[in-house]
Amino acid sequence: MVTAAAFRDRFELPEGVTYLDGNSLGPLTRDAALAIREMTWNQWGKDLIASWNKHDWFGAPERVGNLIAPLIGAADGEVVVADSVSVNIFKLAAAALVAQPGRRIILSEPGNFPTDLYMIEGLKRLRPDVELRLVRRENMADALSDEVALLLLTHVHYKTAEMFDMDGLTKAAQAVGALTLWDLSHSVGAVPVDLNHAGADLAVGCGYKYLNGGPGAPAFLYVARHLQEKLASPLSGWMGHAAPFDFTDAYEPAADIARWRAGTPPMISLTALEAAVKLMREADFSDLVHCSHILTDAFIEGVEAKCADLTLISPRDATQRGSHVSFAHDHSFEIMQALIAEGVVGDFRTPDALRFGFAPLYNSMDDVERAVAVLAGIMDSGRWRDPRFAKRSKVT
């Protein structure tokens, strides 16, 4: 693949490992490793606190947000990097409810990524009048009403990779006066996203998957420009103040996207994310998407030809799925552990999903062919039945 050939050497990938788990944790980029060294040794190490101004640490959340913005179809000043996906969902959902006092329903789907639902459950403990209503995706548009404050959906499903129609559902929600909040955690850097074209109101996403920002990398949030002075964060932290260094007792939110900042930016992890996103911005994104379709189509074809016991649970049409592919089997956990033991790294998602993520910045057809061959060998031989593969750790 042209893309993998151009960028693979800029990633630290262990010899002999076929890494198909970039949809859970992107690998280390050499650019990020060098940037962290520069930031720690020369900026923090030598310039100390002066680095907040000299190296513009203070402006990093907006600066990196502007780097991410084109990857999700946003404009400069509409994205800020801060906190985690979970915290950002809470901030935006709470703000949407406060801004619409006559509405009390947050609409989502069963099987959405757990944190999206859990955060609303926590919000409900503060607002007992709020209802989290879960509706199957095929009935989502019909469930919209003038009681709905917020439509909260994950654009690419974390397990199946099925994509929602962002444009259509955003328009349907807005037609009844509701706001939309899209979780882009499995979309950003993997599939085309155009928030401005869709007219989306709000969005969140993480930095550690396809953006390769590192474990625990800070997340980002998007607020459409026309909403930025209408919505206020419930976490009115110092860094979101209009003039934080005036040290006034009363809180006055910043007039722009900076109002969604809360605490001090985590500069080491932000530095890694910034370097990794710059690398991704070097690639032709349409080429990345094209390569993703080729890789995932080839993987599906290969697995179905050689592993009859596995059932595809991802959409077959590449334009309807993200850049990961999932197959089901009653013993998916054991099969995945056997794969990992032989150097093919994917992941398992309960109850029965084998999940494989393809990142064209470093994955190639060689990875597809090796993964299919190893998987077929494990299935044919029954090696996954070894009792050691049934032992579960805290992280699966």
List, by residue number, the catalytic residues. Answer: 113, 183, 208-209, 355
Full 3-state SS string of 185-213? CCCCCCCCCCHHHHCCCEEEECCCCCCCC
> Distance (Å, rounded) from C-alpha 235 to C-alpha 254?
13
* Nearest one of 199, 90, 206 to 152, comparing CA atoms: 90
| β-strand pairing of 344-345 with 18-19 | parallel
- Which H helix or E strand runs over 6? helix 2-7
Cis amide linkage into residue 215, ω under 30° from 0: no
**Beta carbons within 8 Å of 48's beta carbon, 6+ residues apart:** none
Which amino acid, 115?
T
**Beta carbons within 8 Å of 226's beta carbon, 6+ residues apart:** none
> Distance (Å, rounded) from C-alpha 386 to C-alpha 388?
6
| β-strand pairing of 311-312 with 105-108 | unpaired
Query: How many Cα atoms are found within 13 Å in the side-chain-facing hemisphere of 200?
Result: 31
